[in-house]
Amino acid sequence: MNLKAVAKRVHKILPSAKVEEYRGCVRLTGEADSWDVVYRCGVAAVDKGSLGVLNDIRLKGFCEKVKAPSLRDGAIDGATPDVLVIGGGIMGCAAARELSKLNVDVLLVEKANDVATGASSRNDGCIHVGIDLHKGQQKLHYVLRGNEYYTQLAEELGCDLKRWAQTFMFSTVWERRIIAPLMLLKGRLLGIPRMRFVTPEEMKKLEPTPPSWLTGAVYMATGGVVSPYKVTIALADNAVENGARISLNTMVEGMDVENGVIKAVRTNRGTVYPKIVVNAAGAFSDIIADMAGDRTFTIHPRKGTDLILDKKKAYYALSSFARSYFAPLPASAREDNNAAVGHTKGGGVMRTVDGNVLVGPNAIEQPYREDTTTNLEDILAIIKKQKVAAEELSTADIITYFSGVRAATYEEDFVVRRGIFTKNIIEAAGIQSPGITAAPAIACDIRDWVKDMLGATDKADFNPYRKHTPRLADADDETRARYIASNPDYGEIVCRCEEVSKGEIIDALESPLKVCTVDGIKRRVRPGMGRCQGGFCSPLVVKIIAEHEGIAPEQVLKGDEGSYILFGNTKNNGEGGVK
Ligand SMILES: Cc1cc2nc3c(=O)[nH]c(=O)nc-3n(C[C@H](O)[C@H](O)[C@H](O)COP(=O)(O)OP(=O)(O)OC[C@H]3O[C@@H](n4cnc5c(N)ncnc54)[C@H](O)[C@@H]3O)c2cc1C
């Protein structure tokens, strides 16, 4: 490690920072007035010879209020699982499912009241091909394997996967002549299959409205699109079907570590004594690694905002493949780039598996791990940038927008490994983009490591197929009639925009991982995802949940803890209790 060179770079940004070596890592301490300074010091501290950057420079006056469950009980107190998975995003749920293929006792804890509430529900759902990655990166290794694995996974879980290609478009002749061949060569060297150059004429056959400036494109046929939250929920459901336990509203608060071994993990619902801990805590994964004494990295949260357009605008991104626009874009669009642009794919315009158009994301460095607010300035900037590639875009077509936070490390790579300083931890940390693509492949390695560490055997009766429930919007008339005859609730349409029936909502309320919030139902079967954004169906969904669960409508939550919708005849005390 060249600590002198690192210190020189860091001191140019923050002269008062202390730069030292700590257990093979570069450690920074001190105080800064702006997050930009903290972030830039972290970037400057990256050194190939070190294990990673521990950026402990404090931002003056900063304190983030972390969303923590208020619940305190002993629901899992004294549990002795073979494996404790921390985090119910796609990483944790994929790990739990792969681990349920073994004869081991798996417990997953998630601090929110559902799985898929962090980055895994707030992203584009692109199954990436890996063209923006580099040899030697963990990201590349897992993206190539994950991309391939998705075909089998989607079939087993009953999730939609559209193998819509990704395109990288060129606006000038020199880009077409120089960048396109280099990109095809890079693709070959990285091992990305089925890439080819397409002329503007060929693009017209694939898409009727390619941008007028198009001089050619690189077409990447192995791209794809999934619904990331549906995949995450399906992984969780199938893990539960195969014996894994999931404890929601359960936050890891501390650990007891002795001689490099985690002895106990303390949560708000009791203390757990696992043999192995899997750290899949997303934007909090460095905090969990620190608790375990195994931290070699720092998460610097990077927010991304996406816009969702009405389904009727799906012609922007056509039936044959998702129309994703990565840089390079014409100069007029490049000026909108922000500080982190070197670490994004530049965003794009694409069609989701559910038929909406997604525009974005951008990338903004921020100190907050859970701030998913959106703002007008970002929305307008995204439209302005992507309008260059999809000239028809208009703010009038936006039906909603959201932000997610990427768990980026300063090394800009995943941290997937067995513990270095702690024997019984597996890190699945820093899973920033393209984590949706990579997580199922990472989970396979986690399964193999656990098998090796515990000497576990394969479960003979593992069932990879998740229980199938009907989706009426996708069914033909004859099939619908059959479902309705078997259960009249399938004939009662609750959400007209998305054609979701009462029967499907009840199916969701009876799924292996039961979640009874309006947002939980929305993520599972889509009522409220359409043009009216739940304006008409939300009261009906509340009523169905209340009736099914035998609770007062005032007790039904929209999403997070405390998010009551109704205050009426039954008095809600605002703390989860109804008087
Ligand atoms: C805007 C945006 C667009 C993206 N687009 C794509 C894309 O198109 N394709 C792609 O492949 N990837 C994409 N990604 C990346 C992808 O979303 C992430 O890599 C992936 O979701 C990370 O999954 P995860 O399980 O590691 O983290 P998360 O989904 O954030 O899950 C971590 C979980 O851990 C829980 N947790 C944290 N601390 C604790 C604790 N102490 N106790 C208990 N639980 C805890 C959290 O509540 C959270 O639910 C995108 C990301 C963003 C933000």
- Of all residues in the chain, what percent carry a pLDDT higher than 90? 73
Q: Mutation test of ligand 1: which of 436, 437, 446, 513 has the most ligand atoms closer than 8 Å to its C-beta?
A: 436
Look at phi and psi of residue 418 and say left if phi exceeds 0, alpha if psi is from -120 to 50, else beta.
beta
Ligand 1 atom closest to the Cα of residue 120 is 21
pLDDT at position 578 over 60: no
Q: How far is the CA of 431 from the centre of ligand 1 (A)?
A: 7
pLDDT at position 334 over 70: no
Is 286 close to ligand 1, i.e. is its CB under 6 Å away?
no
Q: Residue 533, SS3?
A: coil
pLDDT at 314: 61
For 233-282, how does the pLDDT look when each residue is reduced to its tens digit (9 = 90+)? 999 999 999 999 999 999 999 999 999 999 999 999 999 999 999 999 99
Average of per-residue pLDDT values in the chain: 90
Q: How far is the CA of 407 from the centre of ligand 1 (A)?
A: 7
Report the candidate in 60, 105, 114 with the shortest Cα–Cα distance to residue 87: 114
Is 361 close to ligand 1, i.e. is its CB under 6 Å away?
yes
Domain regions of the chain by residue span: 3-59, 75-163+222-296+410-456, 164-221+300-408, 472-555
Q: Which of 149-153, 345-349, 491-495 has the lowest mean pLDDT?
A: 345-349
Band (pLDDT 50/70/90 cuts) for residue 577 is very low
Q: Which is higher by pLDDT, 106 or 356? A: 106
Query: What is this structure's pTM?
Result: 0.93
Tokens of 37: 């300074």
Amino acid at 322: A
CA-based torsion, 297, 298, 299, 302: positive or negative: negative
Q: Residue 126, SS3?
A: strand
Q: Which is higher by pLDDT, 77 or 165? A: 77
Report the candidate in 499, 557, 577, 558 with the shortest Cα–Cα distance to residue 531: 499
Is 432 close to ligand 1, i.e. is its CB under 6 Å away?
yes
Contact present, 402 and 375 (Cβ < 8 Å) = no
Q: How far apart are CA 308 and CA 351, in angstroms?
A: 10
Q: How far is the CA of 276 from the centre of ligand 1 (A)?
A: 21
Contact present, 571 and 578 (Cβ < 8 Å) = yes
Q: Which is higher by pLDDT, 204 or 111? A: 111
pLDDT at position 150 over 70: yes
pLDDT at 568: 67
Report the candidate in 536, 490, 500 with the shortest Cα–Cα distance to residue 521: 500
Is 437 close to ligand 1, i.e. is its CB under 6 Å away?
yes
Q: Do domains 75-163+222-296+410-456 and 164-221+300-408 have the same CATH topology?
A: no
Considering only CA atoms, which residue is closest to atom 48 of ligand 1?
118
Burial of 12 per CB tally in 10 Å (0-12, 13-18, 19+)? exposed
Q: How far apart are CA 323 and CA 326, in angstroms?
A: 10
Amino acid at 199: T
Q: Mutation test of ligand 1: which of 344, 352, 373, 431 has the most ligand atoms closer than 8 Å to its C-beta?
A: 431
Residue that the structure tokens 């303390």 belong to: 266
Is 126 close to ligand 1, i.e. is its CB under 6 Å away?
yes
Partners of residue 245 on adjacent β-strands: 107
Contact present, 508 and 514 (Cβ < 8 Å) = no
Q: How far apart are CA 559 and CA 540, in angstroms?
A: 16
Ligand 1 atom closest to the Cα of residue 429 is 26
Burial 339-374 (b: 16+ CB within 10 A, else e): ebeebbbbbbbbbbbbebbbbbbbbbbbebbeebee
pLDDT at position 321 over 60: no
Q: Give the H/E segment covering residue 359.
A: strand 357-360
pLDDT at position 392 over 80: no
Contact present, 557 and 545 (Cβ < 8 Å) = no
- Of all residues in the chain, what percent carry a pLDDT higher than 70? 92
Q: How far apart are CA 115 and CA 520, in angstroms?
A: 9
Tokens of 174: 């020199």
75-163+222-296+410-456 fold: FAD/NAD(P)-binding domain (3.50.50)
pLDDT at 342: 40
Is 249 close to ligand 1, i.e. is its CB under 6 Å away?
no
Is 306 close to ligand 1, i.e. is its CB under 6 Å away?
yes
pLDDT at 175: 83
**Helix 3-13 vs helix 35-44: crossing angle, to nearest 10:** 160
pLDDT at position 464 over 90: yes
Q: Give the H/E segment covering residue 360.
A: strand 357-360
pLDDT at position 85 over 90: yes
Partners of residue 305 on adjacent β-strands: 403
Report the candidate in 508, 498, 503 with the shortest Cα–Cα distance to residue 488: 503
Is 90 close to ligand 1, i.e. is its CB under 6 Å away?
yes
Is 117 close to ligand 1, i.e. is its CB under 6 Å away?
yes
Ligand 1 atom closest to the Cα of residue 87 is 34
Ligand 1 atom closest to the Cα of residue 405 is 53
Band (pLDDT 50/70/90 cuts) for residue 190 is very high
Q: How far apart are CA 333 and CA 154, in angstroms?
A: 36
Band (pLDDT 50/70/90 cuts) for residue 77 is very high
Count of C-beta atoms within a 10 Å radius of residue 269: 21
pLDDT at position 569 over 80: no
pLDDT at 343: 46
Considering only CA atoms, which residue is closest to atom 14 of ligand 1?
433
Domain 164-221+300-408 top-level CATH class: alpha beta
DSSP 228-283: HHHHHHHHHHHHHHTT-EEESS--EEEEEEETTEEEEEEETTEEE--SEEEE--GG
Q: How far apart are CA 228 and CA 239, in angstroms?
A: 17
